[in-house]
């Protein structure tokens, strides 16, 4: 089918076709979900188990190891990790990316149920959760008021939470702050001793009494009657009056030996919002829902609820993660618009025609809007990756139209009497093969990105396909809209229009440029003639430049991927075993700084807990900062983190606290985001600690490494009570009885539930706090045995001081210690890690059975290198296949590909000059440049072949075609360069962190464009002259 002819003879049909594409594209756009990142499924499942009062080593033995052994046999399992702390175990099962996460969770639950009978009876119910970027909250909200925090929490859970969870798209809410109410039975140690009552006896009495028990039915002639025994507590007084039988047979009421109260729970977790103690809740969206839309609906609902409350209670939004999505989206749209304007301006400068510029520019809205239809049909979303691909493609989308329009324009220039319809059809068909070849070549570069594996493949699947979608629509536009408008909307600019009005300034610029272009054309003709006469020098020079560019690599920083979010999460840790008051004191000091920080919009903090592991940890806290937009703030997130650290140093608090930027919420491992990570594996904890501390000290001495830390630190103090089994047996005690009695007295034990209406409250049995503060309080405990005798605890146990690890980590059933560090400003990942590896090889000798490996961003970078090299290889292979098919030649595609290495030269030089890192985005830029360089060669080579078909010899064809094709090559290259400028200059939110990609494209195009115009003709003449007779036709 001759599409250009069809578009010229049936213009209304073509207009309707594109009207349909634009209409459907707009429908798709408004139906697309909006998210920060693509939907990425990491088949990673976490199991959290709380075992109150147990040490890290006990939990490792009793819980972590059995679960690791069980999970490691699961089908498709990749790695099993565990983190064990005092009172909690977190086991993470990582499956291969090809595994269905629903199937994996089903199998894991089955394994867990098989192991559950062998785990301790008194562990809390295991919590199973998946890791997903969709599990990151879309909103953080606070409930404020001149009321007690616990009252605000009741309002939140009873009134606010049900209303918000009813909103379509909301998956659920998580509440932070405030305290749950409970029935607390506080035992008086002296009264317990005086009455001769065993603590286990009280626990058993409560459990036996607080029951409703169905016993059967009475069968009657008319109807049956259900019989049940009712024993549940109806009020607190019934608990207070619970009869307890002493060892002497006397009955006493519980209130005579204990204090029974309805109080908030006893925990150290505190939440502050912008300096005020309060309660908060996080809102999660359902999978596949539009984050921005759901956040707007929740915000709308909150405004309605605020109107219903009295003035002393209100809900405020303390953190909105969708702002980052909106700002990113707006920033990329801004980049697209600026890039489009600059690209169209390039077209006008070269052609000096507003109509030509408009015809070319129409390819942008047609292609972008049409792409939204294909994105919707493919099941993608509007996210930072798809928007980035569109911003990147701005220069590409008008390339086809530029080539077509420029050739039509040339035909009209060369023959003033030529019919515009004839010029449009002939001009389009003349470059049709070149346009198809260039588009397919560029598509062959991007499509392989969508088939990458691993984490990178998950993220960038939508990237390559989105660019391919846009290019396919732009190709259709180039063969239909461009020739149609050229045929019916051609009019030579009138002299009076050119010299009058505001447009005259643009024409002046165009005229000046075209005068310069004529001089440039003469220079190019001279250079081309010299190059054809000195082919060996040209080829040798190109090879030397290409090889020489690789000597720049050691001077170019390497990294994985820059991040610049509007939301910063900091983790604060004091020394092991520190009470919650210490971290609270430090957090107060940090808040004083944050309140004065102009780049912070709002903040909230949590002390005494770790939200990522969902556990209470007395020496930890987390600070969440909502930052101003990138364009309105002075500092980057890492600089704000550094300022907070400096503030702590100034206040002499740095010795007792460590501040680090956290990777985010939602679970999973943060290892991949760590710039420096050394993992040492071995089973001896003491040896692991020694090795970890030695490596830590080495890293601390390496310039550029900051915030050096190790996961295996000196242990928290422990008081060990070792039972003497012979004495215990003689005195009538079992290890279980002693352990349960002491746990109840010291930590407290949930012995039952108290139901009030639809709510349930824990009944906690615990010893008075004044009798459980010091070591001597433990020694003075007197237990009552089964015979009613009072036995001092010291008679059955040996008490001594010890220390235990605060945290034990395991990978694939082996203990590990991780040493981590961040990068100081101005240092690259490769630079710092290279120096660390040099030191480790010289100074660290590991005992037998121990090993260390580098991980974090180093591993991610190595994986990325492998993946990107594979993508480049695929791109080159596909490009060759496409070109060989189109040109029916095995040789000419090889000629074109001699231009590919020329792009590397400028890319590396640009990275070096701008001090940018060779990272993930830079590699994508390199891939893109490969396609663009081939495109320039195709435009040139295709016309040379056409001239030879008309009877010219090789030299004549080159000298005739190259100057003619100089203009479209420069136009497409400069359009791409100007389209990339907004990203390279970091204009707007969407460009931050992605500058290296645009820098590589601009640098690669600048060198490759000019070198291609000289090298490709020289190689063409050399090869064609030698192998013309052998070429396959």
Coil/strand/helix, residue 23: helix
Any residues with CB less than 8 A from the CB of 739 and at least 6 apart, and which?
A: none
Residue 555, class by beta-carbon neighbours within 10 Å (0-12 exposed, 13-18 middle, 19+ buried)? exposed
Please check the confidence at residue 494 and state whether its pLDDT lies above 70.
no
Residue 940 has φ and ψ, to the nearest 5°, of: -75, -50
* List of long-range contacts for 523-529, beta carbons under 8 Å, 24+ apart: 524/962, 524/963, 524/966, 524/1013, 525/959, 525/963, 527/1014, 528/958, 528/959, 528/962, 528/963, 528/1013, 528/1014, 528/1017, 529/959
The pLDDT tens digits of the residues spanning 652-672 come to: 887 777 777 764 443 334 577
Tokens representing 540 are: 């040798």
Given a contact cutoff of 8 angstroms between Cβ atoms, the answer to whether 1016 and 918 are in contact is no
Given a contact cutoff of 8 angstroms between Cβ atoms, the answer to whether 766 and 182 are in contact is no
The pLDDT tens digits of the residues spanning 150-176 come to: 888 888 888 899 999 999 989 888 888
Q: Which residue shows structure tokens 């054809």?
A: 532
What is the edge-to-edge ordering of all strands in the sheet holding 759-767?
Answer: 258-264, 181-187, 759-767, 749-756
* Higher pLDDT among residues 559 and 503, named by residue: 559
How far is CA 942 from its chain centroid? Answer: 44
* Higher pLDDT among residues 734 and 89, named by residue: 89
First to last CA, the chain: 24
Q: What is the pLDDT of residue 320?
A: 86
Band of residue 611 on the pLDDT scale cut at 50, 70, 90: low
Of 978, 600, 753, the C-alpha closest to 211 is: 753
* Higher pLDDT among residues 330 and 205, named by residue: 205
The pLDDT tens digits of the residues spanning 189-225 come to: 788 777 778 787 888 888 888 888 788 888 887 788 8
What span, in angstroms and rounded, lies between the C-alpha atoms of 928 and 926?
Answer: 5
Q: Where are the beta strands (DSSP E) in 88-180?
A: 88-95, 127-132, 139-145, 170-176
* Higher pLDDT among residues 935 and 681, named by residue: 681
How far is CA 435 from its chain centroid? Answer: 37
What span, in angstroms and rounded, lies between the C-alpha atoms of 333 and 988?
Answer: 9
- Rounded average pLDDT over 510-527: 88
Residue 517, class by beta-carbon neighbours within 10 Å (0-12 exposed, 13-18 middle, 19+ buried)? middle
Given a contact cutoff of 8 angstroms between Cβ atoms, the answer to whether 115 and 65 are in contact is no
What span, in angstroms and rounded, lies between the C-alpha atoms of 731 and 784?
Answer: 10
Please check the confidence at residue 366 and state whether its pLDDT lies above 90.
no
What span, in angstroms and rounded, lies between the C-alpha atoms of 262 and 536?
Answer: 93
The pLDDT tens digits of the residues spanning 384-427 come to: 788 888 877 777 888 888 888 888 888 887 765 468 888 888 88
Least confident interval from 38-42, 719-723, 958-962 = 38-42
- Rounded average pLDDT over 1005-1009: 88
The residues with which 141 forms a beta bridge, in sequence order, are 281, 317
Band of residue 491 on the pLDDT scale cut at 50, 70, 90: low
What span, in angstroms and rounded, lies between the C-alpha atoms of 827 and 915?
Answer: 10
Residue 43 has φ and ψ, to the nearest 5°, of: -70, 75
Q: Which residue shows structure tokens 């059933």?
A: 813
Q: What is the pLDDT of residue 110?
A: 93
Of 1019, 1026, 1027, 1029, the C-alpha closest to 944 is: 1019
Of 561, 593, 735, the C-alpha closest to 659 is: 593
- Rounded average pLDDT over 47-64: 88
Measured CA distances, 715 to 618, 649, 858, 954 (Å): 14, 25, 30, 80
Cα angle 899-551-1022, degrees, rounded to a multiple of 5: 30
What span, in angstroms and rounded, lies between the C-alpha atoms of 295 and 285?
Answer: 8
Please check the confidence at residue 266 and state whether its pLDDT lies above 80.
no
How far is CA 342 from its chain centroid? Answer: 32
Which range scores top for mean pLDDT: 188-192, 569-573, 999-1003? 999-1003
Residue 301 has φ and ψ, to the nearest 5°, of: -65, -40
Residue 947 has φ and ψ, to the nearest 5°, of: -65, -35
* Higher pLDDT among residues 628 and 115, named by residue: 115
Q: Which residue shows structure tokens 């291969």?
A: 96
Tokens representing 490 are: 């051609």
- Rounded average pLDDT over 342-367: 82
Band of residue 646 on the pLDDT scale cut at 50, 70, 90: confident
What span, in angstroms and rounded, lies between the C-alpha atoms of 78 and 98?
Answer: 11
Q: What is the pLDDT of residue 527?
A: 92
- Rounded average pLDDT over 809-813: 91
Q: What is the pLDDT of residue 62?
A: 93
Tokens representing 483 are: 């020739």
Tell me the whole-structure pTM to 2 decimals. Answer: 0.77
In the chain, the percentage of residues whose pLDDT exceeds 70 is: 94
Band of residue 133 on the pLDDT scale cut at 50, 70, 90: low
Band of residue 615 on the pLDDT scale cut at 50, 70, 90: low
- Rounded average pLDDT over 903-914: 90
Please check the confidence at residue 866 and state whether its pLDDT lies above 70.
yes
The pLDDT tens digits of the residues spanning 268-302 come to: 788 888 888 888 899 988 877 888 889 999 999 99
Q: What is the pLDDT of residue 823?
A: 84
Given a contact cutoff of 8 angstroms between Cβ atoms, the answer to whether 560 and 860 are in contact is yes
Average pLDDT of the chain to the nearest whole number: 84
In the chain, the percentage of residues whose pLDDT exceeds 90 is: 17
Burial 972-1010, CB ≥16 within 10 A → b, else e: bbbbbbbbbbbbbebbbbbbbbbbbbbbbbbbbbbbbbb
Residue 573, class by beta-carbon neighbours within 10 Å (0-12 exposed, 13-18 middle, 19+ buried)? buried
Q: Are strands 716-723 and 139-145 parallel, antiparallel or unpaired?
A: unpaired
Burial 64-86, CB ≥16 within 10 A → b, else e: bbebbebbeebeebeebbbbbbb
- Domains, the chain, ordered by start: 3-35+325-559+861-1027 (1.20.1640.10), 37-135 (3.30.70.1430), 181-215+223-267+717-804 (3.30.2090.10), 675-715+805-855 (3.30.70.1320)
The pLDDT tens digits of the residues spanning 431-489 come to: 888 888 888 888 888 888 877 777 777 777 888 899 999 999 999 988 998 889 888 88
What does R_g of the chain's alpha carbons equal in angstroms?
A: 36
Of 963, 967, 960, the C-alpha closest to 945 is: 960
What span, in angstroms and rounded, lies between the C-alpha atoms of 725 and 727?
Answer: 6
Q: What is the pLDDT of residue 497?
A: 54
Given a contact cutoff of 8 angstroms between Cβ atoms, the answer to whether 595 and 275 are in contact is yes
Given a contact cutoff of 8 angstroms between Cβ atoms, the answer to whether 334 and 990 are in contact is yes
Measured CA distances, 980 to 239, 388, 998 (Å): 74, 11, 5
Please check the confidence at residue 358 and state whether its pLDDT lies above 50.
yes
Of 773, 719, 715, the C-alpha closest to 746 is: 773
């Amino acid at each position: 089918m001759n599409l250009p002819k069809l578009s010229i003879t049936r213009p209304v049909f073509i207009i309707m076709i594109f009207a349909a594409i634009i209409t459907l594209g707009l429908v798709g756009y408004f139906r697309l979900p909006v998210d920060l990142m693509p939907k990425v499924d990491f088949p990673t499942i976490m199991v959290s188990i709380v075992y109150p009062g147990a040490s890290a080593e006990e939990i490792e033995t009793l819980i972590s190891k059995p679960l690791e052994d069980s999970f490691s046999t699961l089908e498709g399992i990749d790695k099993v990790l565990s983190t064990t702390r005092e009172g909690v175990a977190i086991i993470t099962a990582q499956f291969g990316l090809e595994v269905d996460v629903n199937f994996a969770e089903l199998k894991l639950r089955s394994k867990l149920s098989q192991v559950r009978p062998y785990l301790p009876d008194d562990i809390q119910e295991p919590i199973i959760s998946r890791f997903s970027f969709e599990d990151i909250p879309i909103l953080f909200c606070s409930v404020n008021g001149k009321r007690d925090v616990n009252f605000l929490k009741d309002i939140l859970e009873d009134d606010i939470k049900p209303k918000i969870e009813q909103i379509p798209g909301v998956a659920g809410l998580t509440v932070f702050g405030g305290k749950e109410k409970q029935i607390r039975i506080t035992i008086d140690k002296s009264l317990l001793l005086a009455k001769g009552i065993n603590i286990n006896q009280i626990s058993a009495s409560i459990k036996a009494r607080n029951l409703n028990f169905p016993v059967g039915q009475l069968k009657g002639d008319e109807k049956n009657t259900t019989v049940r025994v009712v024993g549940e507590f109806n009020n607190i007084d019934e608990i207070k009056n619970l009869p307890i039988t002493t060892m002497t047979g006397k009955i006493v009421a519980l209130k005579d030996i204990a204090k029974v109260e309805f109080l908030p729970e006893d925990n150290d977790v505190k939440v502050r919002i912008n300096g005020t103690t309060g309660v908060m809740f996080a809102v999660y969206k359902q999978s596949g829902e539009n984050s921005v839309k759901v956040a707007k609906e929740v915000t709308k609902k909150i405004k309605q609820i605020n109107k219903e409350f009295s003035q002393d209670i209100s809900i405020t939004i303390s953190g909105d993660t969708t702002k980052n999505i909106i700002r990113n989206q707006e920033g990329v749209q801004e980049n697209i618009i600026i890039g489009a304007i600059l690209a169209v301006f390039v077209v006008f400068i070269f052609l000096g025609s507003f109509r030509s510029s408009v015809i070319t520019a129409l390819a942008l809205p047609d292609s972008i809007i049409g792409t939204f239809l294909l994105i919707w049909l493919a099941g993608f979303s509007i996210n930072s990756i798809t928007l980035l691909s569109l911003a990147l493609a701005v220069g590409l989308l008008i390339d086809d139209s530029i080539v077509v329009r420029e050739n039509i324009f040339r035909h009209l220039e060369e023959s003033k009497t030529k019919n515009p319809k004839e010029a449009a059809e002939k001009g389009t068909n003349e470059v049709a093969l070149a346009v198809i070849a260039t588009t397919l070549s560029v598509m062959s570069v991007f499509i392989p990105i969508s088939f990458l594996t691993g984490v990178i493949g998950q993220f960038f699947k939508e990237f390559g396909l989105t660019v391919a979608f846009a290019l396919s629509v732009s190709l259709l536009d180039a063969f239909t809209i461009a020739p149609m408008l050229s045929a019916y909307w051609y009019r030579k600019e009138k002299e009076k229009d050119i010299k009058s009005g505001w447009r005259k300034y643009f024409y002046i610029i165009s005229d000046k440029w075209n005068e310069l272009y004529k001089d440039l054309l003469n220079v190019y003709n001279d250079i081309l003639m010299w190059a054809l006469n000195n082919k060996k020098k040209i080829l040798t020079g190109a090879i030397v430049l290409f090889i020489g560019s690789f000597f720049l690599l050691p001077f170019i920083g390497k990294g994985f991927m820059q991040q610049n979010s509007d939301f910063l999460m900091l983790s604060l840790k004091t020394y092991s075993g520190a009470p919650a008051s210490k971290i609270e004191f430090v957090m107060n000091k940090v808040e004083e700084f944050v309140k004065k920080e102009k780049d912070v919009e709002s903040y909230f903090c949590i002390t005494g807990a770790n939200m990522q592991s969902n556990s209470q940890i007395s020496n930890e806290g987390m600070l969440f900062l909502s930052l101003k937009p990138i364009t309105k703030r002075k500092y980057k997130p890492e600089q704000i983190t550094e300022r907070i650290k400096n503030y702590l140093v100034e206040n002499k608090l740095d010795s007792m606290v460590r501040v680090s930027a956290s990777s985010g919420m939602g679970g999973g491992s943060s290892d991949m985001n760590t710039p420096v990570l050394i993992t040492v594996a071995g089973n001896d904890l003491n040896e692991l600690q020694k090795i970890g501390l030695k490596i830590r000290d080495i890293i601390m001495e390496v310039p550029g490494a900051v915030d050096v830390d190790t996961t295996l630190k000196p242990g928290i103090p422990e008081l060990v009570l070792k039972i003497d089994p012979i004495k215990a047996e003689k005195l009538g005690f079992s290890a279980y009885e002693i352990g349960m009695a002491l746990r109840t007295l010291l930590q407290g034990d949930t012995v039952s539930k108290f139901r009030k209406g639809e709510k349930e409250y824990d009944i906690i049995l615990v010893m008075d706090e004044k009798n459980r503060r010091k070591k001597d309080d433990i020694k003075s405990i007197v237990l009552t045995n089964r015979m009613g005798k009072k036995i001092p605890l010291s008679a059955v146990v040996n008490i001594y001081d010890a220390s235990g690890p605060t945290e034990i980590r395991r990978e694939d059933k082996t203990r590990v210690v991780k040493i981590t560090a961040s990068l100081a400003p101005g240092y690259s990942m490769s630079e710092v890690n290279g120096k660390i590896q040099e030191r480790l090889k010289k100074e660290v000798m590991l005992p037998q059975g121990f090993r260390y490996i580098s991980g974090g961003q180093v591993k991610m970078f190595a994986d990325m290198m492998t993946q990107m090299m594979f993508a480049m290889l695929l791109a080159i292979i596909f490009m060759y296949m496409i070109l060989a098919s189109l040109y029916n030649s095995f040789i000419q595609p090889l000629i074109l590909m001699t231009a590919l290495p020329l792009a590397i030269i400028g890319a590396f030089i640009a990275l070096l000059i701008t001090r940018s890192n060779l990272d993930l985005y830079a590699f994508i830029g390199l891939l893109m440049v490969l396609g663009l360089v081939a495109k320039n060669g195709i435009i040139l080579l295709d016309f040379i072949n056409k001239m030879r078909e008309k009877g010219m010899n090789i030299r004549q064809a080159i000298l005739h075609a190259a100057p003619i094709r100089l203009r479209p090559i420069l136009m497409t290259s400069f359009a791409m360069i100007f389209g990339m400028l907004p990203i390279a200059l970091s204009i707007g939110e969407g460009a931050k962190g992605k500058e290296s990609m645009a820098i590589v494209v601009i640098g690669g195009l600048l060198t490759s464009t000019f070198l291609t115009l000289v090298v490709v003709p020289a190689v063409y003449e050399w090869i064609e002259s030698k192998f013309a007779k052998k070429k396959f036709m």
